[in-house]
A and B are shown apart, each in its own frame.
Chain A
Amino acid sequence: SQELEQSPQSLIVQEGKNLTINCTSSKTLYGLYWYKQKYGEGLIFLMMLQKGGEEKSHEKITAKLDEKKQQSSLHITASQPSHAGIYLCGADMASGTYKYIFGTGTRLKVLA
């Protein structure tokens, strides 16, 4: 089973709508990272969260990490076609390690 679960697996929204993607673990996360991927290409770093309760925003994207550091959400406000792609959460599952695992991914399509 996946150590990081993402939901939903796919999402189709109308341009201008808000949406939320969730990333959940049964274990404490030591660092939570959000990436975006265009099909068949590398991952582009979006945001990093490390402290329980932390929230960061960049342009129309906001990411939060819960107090227990087991769940994160990525929220996109007023979605645009340029937001389309695959969103992946990644995490350090133990302190002091470079072993970095990823969630299952959420495929987002934005209809113009």
Chain B
Amino acid sequence: KAGVTQTPRYLIKTRGQQVTLSCSPISGHRSVSWYQQTPGQGLQFLFEYFSETQRNKGNFPGRFSGRQFSNSRSEMNVSTLELGDSALYLCASRGPLGSEAFFGQGTRLTVV
């Protein structure tokens, strides 16, 4: 069974640009969550999608958005990039409620 796949693995963008990150969950998993990880703030919850609907949202500005497709694949978009958006972005997929989350390898975003 293939794991969670995130693309790209590394990305360098300039301030003001926008970026789209992709996540393919484990087959059969309908819940996909996104996290931002930085040395100072740790692992922060961005949002969670289930069956194409955003069900939970963390405390991030509106520049951070996402969506989920009918095949459960999810994308995360960050517009008007700031230096502080440099981080490791992790995606996790989950099966039934109460089960563990499986994480992708992450996308390392650097904003210059």
Do A and B interact with each other, yes or no?
A: yes
What residues make up the interface of A, taking CB atoms closer than 8 Å to B? 2, 30-31, 33, 35, 40-45, 48, 50, 88, 90, 92, 96-105
Contact A45 B100 (CB under 8 A): yes
Residue contact B105 to A45, C-beta cutoff 8 Å = no
What is the size category of the interface that chain B forms with chain A? 20 to 34
**Which B residue's beta carbon lies closest to that of A45?**
B100
In the assembled complex, 9 residue pairs joining A and B whose CB atoms fall closer than 8 Å, in A order, are A2-B42, A30-B98, A43-B92, A43-B101, A43-B103, A45-B100, A97-B56, A98-B31, A102-B35
Bound complex: CA A100 to CA B32 (Å) = 11
Asked if A88 and B43 make an inter-chain contact with CB atoms under 8 angstroms apart, the answer reads yes
Chain A residues with CB under 8 A of B101: 33, 43, 45, 90, 100
Q: How far is the CA of A62 from the CA of B22 in the complex (A)?
A: 35
A99-B56, A100-B33, A102-B42 known; A92+B102 contact, CB < 8 A:
no
Report yes or no: B102 in contact with A98, Cβ–Cβ below 8 A: no
Chain B interface (Cβ < 8 Å from any Cβ of A):
4, 31, 33, 35, 42-43, 45, 48, 50, 55-56, 88, 90, 92, 94, 97-106, 108
**CB-based contact B42/A41 at 8 Å:** no
List of A residues within 8 angstroms of B97 by Cβ: 96, 98
Q: Do A98 and B33 contact each other (CB < 8 Å), given the known contacts A43-B90, A104-B42?
A: yes
CB proximity of B19 to chain A, nearest CB, Å: 18
Pairwise interchain contact A40-B56, C-beta atoms closer than 8 A:
no
B48, A45: Cβ atoms closer than 8 Å: no
Q: Chain A residues near B103: list those with CB within 8 A.
A: 35, 42-44
